Amino acid sequence: MGQLILDVDTGVDDALALMVAARHADWNLRAVTCVAGNTSLEGVVRNTLTVLDAVGATDVPVAAGAARPLLGEPRDAGHVHGSDGLADLGWPRSARAPEAIHAVELLRREILASPEPVTLVPLAPMTNIALLLRTYPEVAANIGRIVFMGGSASAGNASPVAEFNVWHDPEAAQIVISSGLPVTMYGLDVFYSAAVEAPDIELLLKADDAGCRLSGQLLSHLARVNGDDFRLKLPGSAGLGDAGAVCAVIDPEGLETSELRVEVSLSSSLTRGQTVVDQRTKASEATLPHGHLSRDSIDVALGVDGRRYAALFLDTIRSHDGK
Ligand code: BDR
Ligand code: CA
């Protein structure tokens, strides 16, 4: 069985990612760590425990990590995720408390204890992961791959060129990207392409199972708030967002990647947080000293079979529904 750890800023689409990770039969969700991003750290922990309860994953350990980026102040995304970070649905909160240790300690414990290399899936600003790699570099030996949601080889969302997770903590993202570990960037180039269509959202809303109903409510919220985004092709549909990155771990054949050099812009200018992806194809240009990215290559997702991932998401979420 595959060994999985998620690092989240739950977050409506993080919630969908938690659900599919907790319910897929081939993967063991060993732990979930929380970081400030879409909402405050306290809100992220509360939302994460609430979502895990809704899908019956009450034994997955959860820990709180960084309340702010390595540099600068936290900046939430309430305009997308609602004032509570979970679409303001009023869903009953979990009574469970997080582990009494920092996220970095939980990550270390679970990575070192895993019988097989862990797939680490950061779906949020990568502050916790950067702190982990700097504090306990020995964990790298038992990390099989890092598949992160973040970055873009084209347009941004938090700024014209920067994607929210990388923009929120560019230094942390650069530490992860240049770690030398096998890394896959599941960025905005594919983020919007895996979407659940309106009739399937309706079916989820009517399900017996609480996890299905919560996912239906979250997807309805996303369809509403992202309805004006031209990247979503079908009216009434809702992008899986972060959940698509978990689908990419479960079913990597559905993702097209290219091995490319990537470096994060750490300047204080308009490009801060941009993932500069070297897509030059002429060898003599790509090696010119004046335009050479210094870092290692990572796998950058440039295409996705969105229908395949939507089907994977729905089958997995519905696997516990009586209907
Ligand atoms: C990313 O930012 C957050 O708002 C989402 O949860 C996702 O991880 C998209 O840019
Ligand atoms: Ca997220």
- Tens of pLDDT, residue by residue over 87-132, are 999 999 999 999 999 999 999 999 999 999 999 999 999 999 999 9
Question: Which bound ligand lies closest to the C-alpha atom of 162?
Answer: 1
Give the tens place of pLDDT for each residue, 19-53.
Answer: 999 999 999 999 999 999 999 999 999 999 999 99
Residue 294 has pLDDT above 70, yes or no: no
Rounded distance, CA 321 to CA 323, Å? 6
Domain ranges of the chain: 2-191+260-303
Contact 55, 22 (CB under 8 A): yes
Smallest CA separation from ligand 1 atom 7, residue? 242
CATH 3.40.50.1820 fits 2-191+260-303, yes or no: no
Residue 293 has pLDDT above 90, yes or no: no
What pLDDT, on a 0 to 100 scale, did the predictor assign at position 291?
59
Please give the residue that has the higher pLDDT: either 156 or 296. 156
Percent of the chain with pLDDT over 70: 94
- Return the ligand 1 atom nearest residue 38 CA: 4
Distance 79 CA to ligand 2 centre (A): 14
Tokens of 36: 């400030």
Distance 242 CA to ligand 2 centre (A): 6
Residue 292 has pLDDT above 80, yes or no: no
Percent of the chain with pLDDT over 90: 85
pTM: 0.95
What pLDDT, on a 0 to 100 scale, did the predictor assign at position 287?
65
Residue 289 has pLDDT above 60, yes or no: no
Distance 241 CA to ligand 2 centre (A): 8
Tokens of 221: 């919220």
What pLDDT, on a 0 to 100 scale, did the predictor assign at position 268?
83
Contact 57, 21 (CB under 8 A): no
Residues that place a CB less than 5 A from ion ligand 2: 9, 11, 14, 123-124, 242
Residue 236 has pLDDT above 60, yes or no: yes
What pLDDT, on a 0 to 100 scale, did the predictor assign at position 295?
59
85: nearest Cα among 49, 48, 38:
38
Average pLDDT over residues 241-266: 97
From 16, 18, 39, 123, give the residue whose CB has the most ligand 1 atoms within 8 Å, as the site to mutate: 123
Average pLDDT over residues 56-83: 94
Please give the residue that has the higher pLDDT: either 127 or 226. 127
- Return the ligand 1 atom nearest residue 158 CA: 10
Q: Which residues share a beta bridge with 264?
A: 275
Ligand 1 pocket, residue 85 CB under 6 Å? no
What pLDDT, on a 0 to 100 scale, did the predictor assign at position 174?
96
What pLDDT, on a 0 to 100 scale, did the predictor assign at position 288?
61
Smallest CA separation from ligand 1 atom 4, residue? 38
Distance 169 CA to ligand 2 centre (A): 13
Report the length, in residues, of the chain: 323
- Return the ligand 1 atom nearest residue 14 CA: 6
